[in-house]
Amino acid sequence: MKIKVASPSITQSDVEALNESLLSGHLTSGPRVREFEQAFADYIGVKEAVAVNSGTASLHAPLAAKGIGFGDEVIVPALTFFATVSSVIHQGAVPVFCDISMENFSLCPEDLERRITPRTKAIIVVHYFGHSAEMTEIMAIAKHHNLSVIEDCAQSHGTTYKGQMTGSIGEFGSFSMFATKHMTTCEGGMITTNDPELADYMRCFRSHGLKGRNDHVMVGYNYRMPDPLAALGSSQLTRLDQMNAGRIAASEKVINAIRDIEWLSVPMVPDHVKHTYFWCHILIDEEKLGMSTQTLIGRLSEQGVECRNRYEEPLYKQPLLTTDLPEILKISAGNHLPDYGNLNLKNSERVAGSIIGLPNRPDLSDDEIQRINEVLRSL
């Protein structure tokens, strides 16, 4: 028996919404996109939502809307998916890495202060694994230095911090709707903001920079979401809370069963955070366990327990930032090119490669949870 880690939830009503839109004749962006944007803005509790065709586009467009470009620095966590960084480079700006906090694996507010220079224009905060960053502290630092905050919520749809949805706290929220996320449009993204002017800019940016039919007022992109995928998104959104409740219940059961195992740490969740468990993440102490995380994953797989494992190294170790630097980055940074190759951020180094995500499918059975527990204890 193989215990699957997760699988997308697609229901008959999702299929019907998709089919209805396909047969309506609106195949590109149209009424279903506008409906999805309105429903998503209402769900997150912001004035505006702008649908795009990937989470990466939903990071790129806010940077463009803020006029961030050559020579500007954007602070990013050292441990995240590369799109958080590549969107900064696409915009011709310079990523500056910040360490993560051991409490929630998101940006560490103390380290953040140290990374700010006169060239810093924005901070991208990633809410990792469904947890939330400490937004009160991060927003206070951003306000003090007049910096824009983009919340990368690719892994935190429905997560709340002090009662507020992630994606409604910073100047922008950026969501991915990739197949494995809390909700999906197969591929897709959404940007949230309370600023209608920035939303207008991003609507133009996502559609070739077009105003009307002929006037290209900026060098935009084709980042549009097609109507059928937006119809699927609206249908998924109606079930997001229910799907999250299933993830949370399954994750909490797994965590409660294994929390006393001495070679692992389960997530620390303060009362002011509603964690939505994109992953049921545990941090491995390889020394105590007596094997590497990669060996552990192999052993779990042999015993039928599937798990997730990403971000084996802090991103500043990617060859693209050490030996094969993109030309655009060299030109943009000029004399201020960070020495990525010599960075050594303590928490990021500790955590990289040592987190695994255990199965947390909403339909995980009690027998499966018992089996996961037994296998972990047998190692």
- Which residues of the chain form contacts with ligand PLP (CB under 6 A)? 54-56, 80-81, 83-84, 126, 152, 154-155, 176, 178, 189
Shortest spacing between CB 80 and ligand PLP, in angstroms = 5
Nearest residue (CB) to ligand PLP, 189 versus 353: 189
The tokens for 72 are 């500007």
CA nearest neighbour of 379 among 313, 311, 284: 284
Shortest spacing between CB 195 and ligand PLP, in angstroms = 21
Q: What Cα–Cα distance (Å) separates residue 338 from each residue in 258, 333, 351? A: 41, 8, 22
Shortest spacing between CB 179 and ligand PLP, in angstroms = 9
Shortest spacing between CB 82 and ligand PLP, in angstroms = 8
Q: In the Cβ-directed half-sphere of 114, how many Cα atoms lie within 13 Å?
A: 10
Shortest spacing between CB 366 and ligand PLP, in angstroms = 30
Nearest residue (CB) to ligand PLP, 187 versus 200: 187
User: Residue 270: left if φ>0, alpha if ψ -120 to 50, beta else—which one?
Assistant: beta
Residue nearest to ligand PLP (CB): 55
CA nearest neighbour of 175 among 61, 92, 5, 29: 61
Nearest residue (CB) to ligand PLP, 4 versus 310: 310
Counting every residue written for the chain, the total comes to 379
> E-assigned strands of 42-139?
48-52, 73-77, 94-98, 120-126
Nearest residue (CB) to ligand PLP, 40 versus 178: 178
Nearest residue (CB) to ligand PLP, 99 versus 368: 99
Shortest spacing between CB 310 and ligand PLP, in angstroms = 8
Based on the number of CB atoms within 10 Å of its own CB, is 92 exposed (0-12), middle (13-18) or buried (19 or more)?
A: middle
Shortest spacing between CB 215 and ligand PLP, in angstroms = 29
Nearest residue (CB) to ligand PLP, 115 versus 157: 157
Q: In the Cβ-directed half-sphere of 192, how many Cα atoms lie within 13 Å?
A: 26
CA–CA separation, 56 and 145 (whole Å):
26
Q: In the Cβ-directed half-sphere of 142, how many Cα atoms lie within 13 Å?
A: 22
CA–CA separation, 352 and 77 (whole Å):
12
Shortest spacing between CB 94 and ligand PLP, in angstroms = 18
Nearest residue (CB) to ligand PLP, 124 versus 282: 124
Nearest residue (CB) to ligand PLP, 81 versus 368: 81
Nearest residue (CB) to ligand PLP, 59 versus 305: 59
CA–CA separation, 151 and 157 (whole Å):
11
Shortest spacing between CB 357 and ligand PLP, in angstroms = 12
Residue 308 pairs in a beta bridge with 357
User: Residue 145: left if φ>0, alpha if ψ -120 to 50, beta else—which one?
Assistant: alpha
Nearest residue (CB) to ligand PLP, 134 versus 152: 152
DSSP, residue by residue, 208-269:
TTEETTTEE-S---B-PPPHHHHHHHHHHHHTHHHHHHHHHHHHHHHHHHHTT-TTEEPPP-
Question: CA torsion, points 51, 52, 56, 62, in degrees to nearest 10?
Answer: -60
CA nearest neighbour of 63 among 84, 91, 83: 91
Shortest spacing between CB 126 and ligand PLP, in angstroms = 5
